[in-house]
Each structure stands twice: as structure tokens, then as C-alpha cells.
Amino acid sequence: MARYIIGRLLSLIFVLFAVSLIAFLLMHQVPGGPFSMSDKGPLPAATQEAMLRKYGLDKPLWVQYTRYIWHALHGDFGVPFQSPTETVTGLIMRTWPVTIKIGIPTIAIAYALGTLFGFIAALKQNTWVDYTVSFGATLGMVVPNFVVAIWLLLLFSVYLGWLEPGGWGKPQDYIMPVIAYCLAPMALVARYTRTCILDVLRADYVRTARAKGLAEQRVLTWHVGRNALIPFVTILLPEIPNILTGSIFIESTFRIPGLGRFFVTSTQARDYPMILALVLLVAAFWGLTYILTDVLYTVLDPRIRLGGGKVAG
Amino acid sequence: MATSTSVAREDLLAGAEARLRVQAPRSAAYYAMRRYFRQRLAVVGFVIVLFLMVIGFGAPLLAPTGYADADLMSANEYPSWHHPLGTDAIGHDFLSRVMYGTRTSLIVGFSAVAVACLIGIPLGVAAGLYGGLTDFVVMRLVEIMTAFPGLLFAIFLMTITGPGVRNIILVIGITSWVTICRLMRAQLLTLREQEYVTAARSIGASELKIAVRHLLPNALAPVIVAITLAIPLAIFAEAGLSYIGVGINEPTPSLGKMVADSAPYIRVYWYLGLFPTLAIALIMLGFTFVGDGLRDALDPRQM
């Protein structure tokens, strides 16, 4: 197990290098540099040169890249050109908590209600309850969250006039972003819970458990619930980094000062250090979650052996 | 007496004939189609997609005005008989804009998925058939593509290439081939081990013949489903990129861009936000129902 995890971590490091290199090469393909424009029009050539020299951008690309990696390995991710008075780490530490504050209630609501709806739909298979949940889940999964956000704005801010259309700080500012953000994962959770529970309900060991006279309650929690958890973990855990790194759509619609908007502004401002930091952050977060998922998988299902072993049974 | 016997015999014959007719073999496509149209949501999806195609591709004929025809004197009018969906800030007839926006969505959706297929299918086939080094290289490529934040990658590429329909098609295609490639490879890996492939090999069929005659046709069904379900995702990507301002620019109408433009004025001109969002939701729902229906029709064993 330890060997397997170390192997996976090493391969994650390789992927991070590859990803950072691709991002680095790609962003230098974007025409224009970070200092070619100011608020008052194009900067004079001499000023541009001085700025480029200040940030080491006049060096050949490979020098810049190795230098970046060297500094990054020492925990220094540079200065964001959009906001040169702080460090990249500082900027992320300032804005990411805002995104996480939206993300945590989103995850909590989506997973709790999604599991509940999925469970109910599976137990009431082929009744109107099941059809309603399944239809709602399809709707939730395919309607983009910025579309939902606009509908919420139309309902709560325009038609009912209950909520401010955007802003950040007051507790009620959470309501619309969290609803708009949680519908898609909730639908995904409900759909997978339903499928998993239905699969397990048909399994032989559940029939055996019932046949030997176990209380339905115990069959559902002990036999069904536990086994349905396995596919659940593999499919739904990887959604979490997605949610926690924020949605550009939600944050721009409701004007939330989180991490999400930097995904757009950094590219537009040719903010090289910020771009690389975001790419690495997301890739590392995803990679670690996938490793965690695979490890949890073996804990939940002893039939699975990691690292090339055969699956028994 | 005699007549009734002959009638009875004729009945018997007719019955037997009818049974024979029913049992006559039909093509797999016929049964798949019958299974498809038995599902209520799949039929609804089919009707929605048909409707969208008519108003989208028929926009040049059906729309009241062209997509760039603006009448500043009648800007920001609420929905009326004259302009059923109202007019926007520069006096475009909004019904025409939404119809042309649907057209853009459909064009981008279909073409981007075609690009994704052109990249994903050959790579998946190569990885699945040859294995070894080819498989290793393709899978590392897939791994890196998966690790790279998709949206950020798309934003990058859009900034490099600049806005526009052709560029967004290429960018969405380049960022979305992985699913199709993986599926193709996984299909071939499973099929390669099937008994009938071993049987074909043992009677001396060439590898090329096995691939063309046995592997690819059997791998096709799930890939077709994946392709159908990739269309709404591509349409979503276009709407999303245009929504954050790096997709399609004026004067080409894009539903995502229309939604974004409506946001600042939504308290007053609610219809500018409502109609394009409804159109996006309808497009997404229609194609997803069709994809889900196809999946159940083509492979009843799958969930």
C-alpha cells in the first residue's frame, strides 16, 4: 500500500511538471505581454523593457522556466502582475477562503440532499417519486449554473425583490450562489446514489439477508448502504476539488471576490505567475483527490488490490 | 359445413403467415430504433432537437429580421406583438437574435464534437489496437489533458487564437477529445479478449480484417452514445466561454454572450435574461434526452 501511494505521488509530480511546462509554453504564446498596456494606453518601449527586466521576462524562456521551478520549490510563486503589492501566495490566501466559504455549504447541501433524494428514488423505483427525482436530476445536471443563477436573480431579486442581486459580506449573500452552485452536484449525487442502491438491492447477499429474517432497517443500513458507498466514493469524491476551486460563472454573476475570477483575469492580464499558480493548484488538488479516492476504494472494498494485482470474485 | 372448414383453414394459414412475417429477421438498427421510440423522454428529446434544428438552421428563412439588423428607434422594447421577445439595447429583434443564437450553438456543438472525434477516435483506436509504446504515449497524453484544468486550458487557447466561431470550435474540440479516446480504447481492449476474436484469429483472419470486421463495429455503439452526449457539453462550453467574454463576439449572436450582456440590466429588462437562458436549457435538455435514450436503446444492459 505505502509503495503504491509513493508511486502515485511520484507520477503526480511528473504530471505537475508536465502541466506547468505546458502552461508556461502556452501562456507565452498568448500575444502581448503583461506590461504592453496601461490604463492610459500603450506604455513607452523603454518603460516596458525596464518592467520586463525587473521581472526577469527578458531572459530566454528556458531560463525563466527553470528559475520559476527553482523558486516554486522554495515556496516562492512570484508576484501577481495584477496586484504587484502582494505575493501570489498572499493573493490566493486572501481570495481562496471566499471561494471555500461558498464551496463548503454547497458540498454539504448537495451531498446530503442528493443522497437522500437518490435513496428515496431507489426505494420507490418506478413510482412517480422516482420519476420526479430522475427528471429533476437530469434537469439539474444539464442546465448550466450561470443559467440557474440568472433564473434565481429573476425570481428573488427582480420578481420577489427579496435579495440583493450581488455582493459579498452579509449572510443572505450566500443564498443565491449556493443554490445555483449546488444543483448540479446534487443532481449528480442523487443520480449515482439511485443507481448504486438499485444495483445493490438486486444483489444476492441482500436477498440472503432478507431471507434469514433481518429487519429491513438493518438490511438497508448495513448491507445496502455500505456497499452502495463504493462506487459512490469513486465518482463523487473527485467532484469536491471542482467545487472548492470555485466557479468563474457563479462568482462573476454574483460579484463574489473569490478565486474563480482570476482564472479569466489572469489570462487576460498575461499575469504569468498567477496563471502558473492556478494551474498547479488545481492540478495538484485534483491529483491528490484521485489518489485519495483510489486508496479509499481499497479500504471500502477489500476485493480490490492496488498496483496491478488481480481483482478476485 | 364445407365452407366453414375452408374458412377455418384459411384463418389458420393467415395466422401462420402473420406469425412468419413477425418472425422475419430485422436489422439491429430496426430494434434499436423501436427501443428508442418506446421511451417517453427520448421521444420528447427527439422532438425538442428537431424543433431546435428547424428554428436554428431555418433562422435565415424563418427569423423576422437578420441577426445584425438593428433599429435604434425601437431599442429596449418589452415583448409585444411586433417583437414577440422584445428588442435589446441596440434595437435587435430579440426573437431573431435567439434563433440565430440557437443556430450558432448547434453549429458549434456539432462541429466541435466532430473535431473531438477526429482527434479522439484515431488515438483511441491506435492505443487500443497496438498497445505497448503507442498506448503508453496516448495514455500519458490523456493523463496530462485530464490534469490540466479544462476551462483554464480553453480560456488560454481562446486568448491565443482570438474570439470567433471557427476558433471556439477548434478549442472546444481540442479540449474535449479525451472522453471519446478513452472509451474507444477501453472498448477495443475488452473486445480484443472476446472468444469470437480468438476464433477469427484461429481460422486465419488477418489483424486488419479482425479490426475492421469484428472490433470496430462492436465498439461503435457506446462511442455513438458518448458522441451524442458530447454535443450538449460542447454547446455548454461555448455558452460558458462566451458568457465570461472569451468566446464569440458581436455581431455573431451567441446565447451565452446574450445572457452575460443582459446581467447588468436584468432588474429592468428581465426578458433579455430569461429567453436566452430558456433556449440554452432547452438545447441542453433536448440533446441529453436523445443521448440517454440512445444509450438505453443501443445497449439495454447498460444503466
Q: Where are the alpha helices (DSSP H) in B149-269?
A: 150-161, 165-175, 178-192, 195-202, 207-209, 216-243, 255-262
Residue B71 has pLDDT above 80, yes or no: no
Distance CA B285, CA A30 (A): 35
Nearest CA-CA distance, residue A213 and chain B, Å: 30
Using DSSP, state whether A313 is helix, strand or coil. Answer: coil
Which of A123, A122, A117 shows the shortest CA–CA distance to A185? A117
Q: In this complex, is the C-beta atom of A29 within 8 Å of any C-beta atom belonging to chain B?
A: yes
Number of Cβ within a 10 Å radius of residue A94: 13
For B287-296, how does the pLDDT look when each residue is reduced to its tens digit (9 = 90+)? 988 988 888 8
Q: Does B159 touch chain A (CB under 8 A)?
A: yes
What's the ipTM?
A: 0.78
In this model, does residue B300 exceed pLDDT 60?
no
Least Cα distance to A154 among B90, B269, B284, B244 occurs for B269
**A154 near B CB under 8 A:** yes
In eight-state DSSP terms, residue A311 is P
Is A263 near chain B, with CB under 8 Å?
yes
Q: What radius of gyration do chain A's Cα atoms show?
A: 24
C-beta atoms of B244 and A248 within 8 A? yes
Beta bridge partners of A41: A38
CA-nearest residue to A196 within chain B is B303
- Is any Cβ of chain B less than 8 angstroms from the Cβ of A139? yes
Q: Given a cut of 70, is residue B2 above it in pLDDT? A: no
**Residues of chain B positioned with their CB less than 8 A from the CB of A278:** 149, 152
**CB-CB under 8 Å, A141 with B285:** no
Cell of A146: 450561470
Note which residues in 86-125 of chain B have CB less than 8 A from chain A: none
Could you tell me the pLDDT band of residue B25, with boundaries at 50, 70 and 90?
low
- Please give the residue of chain A at the shortest CA–CA distance from B153: A23
Q: Go through B200-237 and write b for each residue having 16 or more CB atoms within 10 A of its CB, e for each that does not.
A: beeeeeeeeebbeebbbebbebbbebbbbbbbbbbbbb
List, for residues A10-45, the tens digit of each pLDDT value: 888 888 888 888 888 888 877 777 776 666 667 777
Yes or no: say if B151 and A248 are a contact pair by the CB < 8 Å rule: yes
A13 phi and psi angles, rounded to 5 deg: -65, -40
Phi, psi of A253 (to 5 degrees): -65, -45
> Is B266 in Cβ contact with A150 (below 8 Å)?
yes
Task: Provide the chain A residues 171-230 that lie in CB contact (below 8 A) with chain B.
Answer: 195, 199
User: Cβ distance A14 to A282 under 8 Å?
Assistant: no
Question: Is residue A299 classed exposed, middle or buried when 0-12, 13-18 and 19+ CB atoms within 10 A define those classes?
Answer: exposed
pLDDT tens digit string along B110-151?
A: 999 999 999 999 999 889 888 889 888 998 888 888 877 778
Q: What's the pLDDT tens digit per position in A254-274?
A: 888 888 888 888 887 888 888
pLDDT of A220 > 70? The answer is yes
